[in-house]
Amino acid sequence: MIIRFYCLIDFFSIIFYGKKVFKFERQTKIPLLLGGEFKKATFMNQKYPLLYLIIFLGVFLFATFFIFISWQKTNFVQSDLVFAENNSNFILQKNIIAHRPPPYVFVPGQKPPKQVIKGLYLTAYSAGSPKILDNIINLINSTELNAVVIDVKDYSGKVLYDSNLELVNEFTLESNRLGDVKELIKKLHEHDIYVIARQTVFQDPILAEKKIEWALKSKNGGLWRDNKGLAWVDPNNKDVWDYDLEIAKEVIAFGFDEINFDYVRFPTDGPMSLLVYTNGEKEKYDVMHDFFVFLNENLAESSAYISLDLFG
C-alpha cells in the first residue's frame, strides 16, 4: 500500500519565489504501522523540506500567539503599575485607564451621594506632603480610583492635626503632620476625590499611659500590653467613647466625607489570661453594639458617613 504525503509548504514556495521550486526528486520509504503490520509508504520528498517545514511551523505558531494576545487585550483592562523609589517615597503610575466612576458633587455640610469607592490609604506624612499629594492626585485622575483614606489618629493614639480639644492639648496627644486640613480637603475635592478620615479608637497606647484609669489593666498590676507592647484603653469606658466622639466631630468639621473608625474591638493578641475586663457579665459583642449605637446617635445627622473596621 502506497501513501503519498503532500507538504503544505509547497504553497509558500509560490509566495516566496513566484513559482514552485519543489521538485519530487526522490522517494523516502517510511515504515508505518497500518492494520497491525508494517507497510511501506512512499513520501515524495522535496528539496530542503525540513527547512521550509520549520519556517512554516514557526510562522503558524507566531500568528496563533499574536491572535491570542490581541483577543486578551479586548477582554481585560491592561494596566502597568510602576513603583519608583525617590527619597523613600513611592510614586505610582498607571498607564491604562479602566472605568472611572462619575465625579461626586461635593456640597459643604451635606453627605455626598453614595457610590462605589475605590481608594488609596495615605499616612498623615504622605497626605501632608505637597509633592506626594500631587503625585497621588495625578494617579487618581488617570485611573478608576476616586477616594483616599487619610490618618487623623493613628495606631499610636496621636492626633495628627492641629486640635483644639482640651484633653489633646493637656497631655500633648497631638502631632500635626497634616498641616492645613481644610485646604487639603478642598484640594482633593477640586479633583472630585472622596476623602475618608481614619481614626483608631481602642488601641490607643498614648492615651492609656496618660489616663491610666481609662486603660485596660493586667492581673499582675499596671497596664496590660499586647504582643507589640502597646497598651489599650478600655472599650467599656464611656469617657473613652466621649473622647473619640469629640475627635470625630472636630474631623467632620474640616469637611471629611466619611469617618472610618479602626480598632473598634477588644484586644486579641498578647497575654490574654492576664487581661482584666471591666464589663462584668456583659458580653464583648454587647459592649461593641452599645458603642455603635452611641456613634450612630451622635453622628447620624452629621455631614459625614460612618464606617467601622472591626479588625485590622
User: pLDDT by residue (tens digit) across 20-68?
Assistant: 444 444 444 444 444 444 444 444 445 566 776 777 777 777 777 667 6
Cell of 17: 519565489
Which of 3-6's residues contact partners 24+ apart within 8 Å by CB, and which partners? 3/32, 3/41, 3/42, 4/42, 4/43, 4/44, 5/41, 5/43, 5/44, 6/44
Comparison of pLDDT for 280 and 296, the residue scoring more: 296
Average pLDDT of the chain is 79
- According to DSSP, the residues that pair with 80 across neighbouring strands are none
Give the per-residue pLDDT at 15: 42
The C-alpha atoms of residue 217 and residue 232 are separated, in whole angstroms, by 9
User: pLDDT by residue (tens digit) across 219-273?
Assistant: 999 999 999 999 999 999 999 999 999 999 999 999 999 999 999 999 999 999 9
Give the per-residue pLDDT at 35: 42
Give the per-residue pLDDT at 68: 63
Place of cell 458580653: 283
- Over 70: is that where the pLDDT of 172 sits? yes
- Over 80: is that where the pLDDT of 308 sits? yes
* Residue ranges of domains in the chain: 9-75, 81-308
User: pLDDT by residue (tens digit) across 68-112?
Assistant: 665 554 444 333 333 333 433 444 444 434 455 566 566 667 788
CATH class of 81-308: alpha beta
Whole-model pTM: value is 0.67
Give the per-residue pLDDT at 114: 84
pLDDT confidence tier of residue 17, bands split at 50, 70 and 90: very low
Give the per-residue pLDDT at 223: 97
Q: Which residue intervals of the chain are DSSP H helices?
A: 9-17, 49-75, 124-127, 130-141, 166-170, 181-190, 205-210, 238-254, 284-299
Cell of 171: 497631655
Give the per-residue pLDDT at 245: 98
Give the per-residue pLDDT at 72: 52
DSSP code, position 234: -
- According to DSSP, the residues that pair with 218 across neighbouring strands are 275
- Over residues 187-210, the mean pLDDT reads 97
Give the per-residue pLDDT at 133: 97
The C-alpha atoms of residue 283 and residue 117 are separated, in whole angstroms, by 34
Percentage of the chain exceeding pLDDT 70 = 69
